[in-house]
Amino acid sequence: MKDIRSLSLAEITEALVALGEPKFRAKQIHEWLWQKSVRGFDEMTNLSKPLREKLNAQFSFFLVEEFVVQKSKDGTVKIAMALHDKRVVEGVMIPDDERSTACVSSQVGCSLSCSFCATGFLKRERNLEASEIYDQIYLLNQHAKAHNGRGLTNIVYMGMGEPLLNYDNVMQSIRYITSPEGLNMAARRVTVSTSGIERGIRRMADEGVKFNLALSLHAPTNDKRETIMDINKSNKLEDVIDALNYFYEKTGNKITFEYILFDGFNDSIEDADNLIKLYKQVPAFINLIEYNNVEGVTLKKAKAEKRDAFVAHLRKHNIEVAVRRSRGKDIDAACGQLANKH
Task: Give the dihedral of Cα atoms 190, 111, 117, 99; nearest 10 deg.
Answer: 10
Residue 101 contacts ligand SF4 per CB under 6 A: no
Contact letters (x/-) for ligand SAH, 217-246, by CB under 6 A? -x----------------------------
Residue 294 contacts ligand SAH per CB under 6 A: yes
Host H or E run for residue 290: strand 284-290
Q: Minimum Å distance from CB 11 to ligand SAH?
A: 30
| 184 vs 178: CA distance, rounded Å | 4
Measuring CA to CA, which residue among 72, 125, 61 is closest to residue 95? 72
Residue 119 contacts ligand SF4 per CB under 6 A: yes
- Contact of residue 158 among ligand SF4, ligand SAH, none (CB under 5-8 Å per partner type): ligand SAH
| 95 vs 76: CA distance, rounded Å | 6
| 4 vs 167: CA distance, rounded Å | 21
User: Any catalytic annotation for residue 335?
Assistant: yes
Q: Minimum Å distance from CB 215 to ligand SF4?
A: 11
Q: Which of helix, strand or coil describes residue 313?
A: helix
Residue 154 contacts ligand SAH per CB under 6 A: no
Q: Binding ligand SF4 by CB under 6 A: which of 91, 120, 200, 328? A: 120
Residue 193 contacts ligand SAH per CB under 6 A: yes
CB 42 within 8 A of CB 114: no
Burial class (CB in 10 A: 0-12, 13-18, 19+), 75: middle
Give 135 or 258: the residue with its C-beta nearer to ligand SAH: 258
Using the rule CB under 6 A, give the single segment among 26-34, 130-138, 276-284, 331-339 that binds ligand SAH.
331-339
Strand order in the sheet with 77-82: 65-71, 77-82, 88-95, 100-103, 154-157, 190-194, 212-216, 255-261, 284-290, 321-324
User: Any catalytic annotation for residue 90?
Assistant: yes
Which residues have a Cβ under 8 Å from the Cβ of 330 and sit 6 or more positions away? 72, 73
Q: Minimum Å distance from CB 204 to ligand SAH?
A: 14
Residue 266 contacts ligand SAH per CB under 6 A: no
Using the rule CB under 6 A, give the single segment among 46-54, 74-82, 270-278, 285-293 that binds ligand SAH.
285-293
48-87: which residues touch ligand SAH (CB under 6 A)? none
- Which position among 21, 65, 90, 114 bears the catalytic label? 90
Residue 166 contacts ligand SAH per CB under 6 A: no
11-70: which residues touch ligand SF4 (CB under 6 A)? none
Half-sphere exposure of 82 (CA within 13 A, CB side): 7
171-174: long-range pairs with CB below 8 Å, 24+: 171/204, 171/207, 171/209, 172/130, 173/130, 173/131, 173/133, 173/134, 174/209, 174/211
Give the active site residues.
Answer: 90, 335
- Name the site residues for ligand SF4 (rule: CB under 6 A): 110, 112-114, 117, 119-120, 161-162, 195, 216
- Name the site residues for ligand SAH (rule: CB under 6 A): 116-117, 158, 162, 193-195, 216, 218, 258, 260, 289, 291-292, 294, 335-337
